[in-house]
Amino acid sequence: MRNIISINNIHKSFAGLHVLNGLSLEISEKETHVILGQSGCGKSVLLKCLLGIFEVDSGEITVAGISVNDKQRSKEYMQKFSILFQGNALFDSMTVIENVEFGIKQSLKHKHLNSKEIRKIAEEKIISVGLESRVFDIYPAEMSGGMQKRAALARAIAVEPEVLLFDEPTSGLDPITGGLICNLLRDTVKKLGITSLTITHDLKVAEFLSDRVSVINKGTVAWIGQAKNMKNCGNEFVEEFYRASNVISARH
């Protein structure tokens, strides 16, 4: 299959602290890929480099053939993605439905729609992530974490992106809600038939969501493969990560 995201030998450091050290990664179309790594290993930094929020020191990132540095096509580049942020990042001055509508209004694909049509799409998307119509006109702050996650997902999928990015999708949620959200993410990605890239430190999430997993250590990809092969992959760090994750969940 064709590669949609290619990250080639990128370096990024902050004031002498080398966070990414020649990291390379290829993600093919329609793959559900999970990036796994310890807290502080640079997962969020990688995501921000991919989105062009941080400029890389060296190396190359292209998505669907467009370089992240191509200023002329930056709008087109950005609109390949939708992101479900770690903290949801819903705009708190807008109601839930206005949040979703705002996303749609910015998208090049939906330029020709009038406000009624936009409202209709927004309503459909909110319902499709399992929220009720009574949340349309309430503000994000009035909802629980799980509901906010769903609303943020509705906003993310409403723009029909080619790649969905999930940053720590279960952080801050209880295990049951976390499980429901994981299921929802998996079903949504399957239904839309698009590429997804999830960033997490939670092995369970990785096992559940991934076609392939990349484990990041010391600023590069330490190992890449299917989650079920992690246990006996021969890489010391990856096996350690696997064992530690299971020790913790066994203690629960």
Partner 1 sequence: MIATLGRYTLASLREIGRISVFITKGVRCCFTPPFYFREILRHIISIGFYSLPIVGLTAIFAGMALALQMHVGFTRFNAEGAIASVVLIGITRELGPVFAGLMVAGRMSSSMAAEIGSMRVSEQIDALMTMSVDPYKFLVAPRIISSVLTMPFLVLIADIIGVMGGFLVATTLLDYSTGSYITQTANNFELWDVLSGLFKAAAFGFSIAGFGCYHGFFSDLGARGVGRATTSAVVSSCIGILALNYLLTALFFGA
Piece of the chain touching ligand ATP by CB under 6 A; list 1-9, 37-45, 76-84, 144-152: 37-45
- Enumerate the β-bridge partners of residue 89: none
Question: Which of 4, 5, 10, 19 forms a contact with ligand ATP (CB under 6 A)?
Answer: 19
> CB under 5 to 8 A by kind: which of partner 1, Mg ion, ligand ATP, none does 32 bind?
none
* Residues linked to residue 215 through DSSP beta bridges, in sequence order: 36, 223
Judged by CB, which is closer to partner 1: 78, or 230?
Answer: 78
Of these, 73, 75, 109, 231, which contacts partner 1 (CB under 8 A)? 75
Looking up tokens 């990605």, which residue turns up? 189
Residue 41 contacts ligand ATP per CB under 6 A: yes
Q: Is 98 helix (H, G, I), strand (E, B) or coil?
A: helix
Could you tell me the smallest distance in angstroms from the CB atom of residue 137 to partner 1? 16
39 binds, among partner 1, Mg ion, ligand ATP, none (CB under 5 to 8 A by kind): ligand ATP
Residue 98 · residue 51 · CB < 8 Å: no
- Rounded CA gap, 205 and 198, in Å? 9
Residue type, 90: L
Q: How far apart are CA 25 and CA 219, in angstroms?
A: 12
Total of chain residues touching partner 1, rule CB under 8 A: 24
CB of 41 to ligand ATP, least distance (A): 5
Instruction: Specify whether the CB–CB gap between 232 and 239 falls below 8 A.
Output: yes
The CA distance from 146 to 23, in Å, is 33
Which residues, numbered 88-147, are part of the site for partner 1 (CB under 8 A)?
88-93, 102-103, 106-107
The alpha carbon dihedral of 75, 76, 78, 83 has a sign of positive
Is 54 or 208 the residue whose CB approaches partner 1 more closely?
A: 54
What track of x and - describes contact with partner 1 for positions 23 through 52 (by CB under 8 A)?
Answer: -------------------------x--x-
| Residue 195: alpha-carbon gap to chain centroid | 10
- Distance CA(199)–CA(192), nearest Å, equals 20
d(CA 110, CA 234): 48
Q: Is 42 in the site for ligand ATP (CB under 6 A)?
A: yes
> What is the contact surface with ligand ATP in residues (CB under 6 A)?
14, 19, 37, 39-45, 201
- Give the residues lining the site for partner 1 (CB under 8 A): 48, 51, 53, 74-75, 78-79, 81-83, 85-93, 102-103, 106-107, 159
